[in-house]
Structure 1
Amino acid sequence: MNESALVEITRKWVEDVVVGYNLCPFAKRELVRDRVRFVVTDADNEESLLQALQTELLRLDDEPEIETTLLIHPHVLQNFTDYNELLSAADGLLTYLDMEGIYQIASFHPDYQFAGTTPDAAENYTNRSPFPMLHLLREASLEAAIDSHPDVDGIPPRNIELMNKLGAEKMRDILAGCMKATENPGE
């Protein structure tokens, strides 16, 4: 799959799932303003992925017009356990670059599984994406959005309730529909 197809599928997922179901009430504004950077890395090992992550963190520092970046890495860390283990190295990179408290890394993966849930639990779909990716967020923007939201603590339980209501089968179908985004352009 080429880079533009990977970006198109990911954008459709953000539009249809993240924004469409209001999983993140802060996402729509930045998507509409075209301040979300979608970038695909050809990294095929953890070291090259961490290098791509560093490049994107430095880009955020240099380009304030980019609010957030989705670093899509389809060729590495397909296994969720391996992916999850990399997250501590990603946080370590923030510390190494002296960017802790400036940026935050959120995690999305096709097989995302919250601790204490079964692999087929619908609530896992709040963080399930078409491809493994790292979401780079500006801490100051996130804090401002949280401060202006009337019930930020209610977001996770509302999302879990919504996913459980929709069910894992429906969410699998929705995610599969996003994967077909490049098959039927304009639909």
Structure 2
Amino acid sequence: MTGVATSEDAVVAQTRAWVDRLVIGLNLCPFARAPQVKGRIRYVHSTAATPEDLLHALGDELRLLAGIAPEEVETTLLIHPKTLTHFAHYNAFLDEAEALLVRLELLGTLQIASFHPHYRFSGTRPDDVTNATNRSPFPMLHLIRESSIDRAVAAFADTASIYRTNQATMRRLGKQGVAALLAECRETGR
């Protein structure tokens, strides 16, 4: 499922296509459409080759997002195709990412959501199609404003149903349907 693109433009194009076709197109996140349409999603291609480099880039992006108005940048996708390509390493890194939020005193202001080509929810098998709700073309960290989440939750009556609806969507699509959508995203990035 990992994207084949290597250039910055191709990585970002594939990721934008993934947001458009899967995240928005399948309504996996009912809150993503408005920031995408308004151009308020910051797509950042990181050249980090080590987890340490990525942690540094993450700190820069967290500070940038915290210091800029939501009307300019609502959320950031920090895409890092060269490091943490194995999901177990990526998953372990999330603890360091959360610790960085604490060190920067941004816990409660920003949060980090996780997406990876080999994403696996706890208690699922690697081939469980429901894992595809968090499978992206490349490893990435989604930096989100807590205030945006609060507004979205207030506007959406039953946020708890999103997870169940997304699982049902993935089951309905099946592995072949998900693979076809991801292949379309890869073609966009070439």
Structure 2 length-normalised TM: 0.94
Q: Could you tell me which of 10, 18, 31 is aligned with 2:36?
A: 31
Q: Unpaired runs of 5+ in structure 1?
A: none
Distance 1:182 1:165 in 2: 26
Residues 172-181 or 131-140, more deviating = 172-181
Kindly tell me the number of residue pairs found equivalent between the two proteins: 183
Partner of 2:108: 101
Distance 2:54 2:180 in 1: 29
Partner of 1:168: 175
The answer to whether the 8 Å contact 2:17/2:188 transfers is yes
Partner of 2:25: 20
Distance 1:172 1:68 in 2: 26
Partner of 2:80: 73
Q: Could you tell me which of 42, 45, 52 is aligned with 1:47?
A: 52
Distance 2:63 2:75 in 1: 12
Q: Unpaired runs of 5+ in structure 2?
A: 1-5
Q: Which runs of 4+ in 1 moved over 6 A?
A: none
Distance 1:132 1:182 in 2: 16
**What's the RMSD between the two structures over aligned residues?**
0.8
**CA drift at 1:116:** 1.0
**CA drift at 1:58:** 0.7
Partner of 1:90: 97
Structure 1 length-normalised TM: 0.96
Which has the higher relative contact order, 1 or 2, with Cα contacts under 8 A spaced 6 or more apart? 2
The answer to whether the 8 Å contact 2:9/2:189 transfers is no
Letter in 2 for 1:10: T
Letter in 2 for 1:182: G
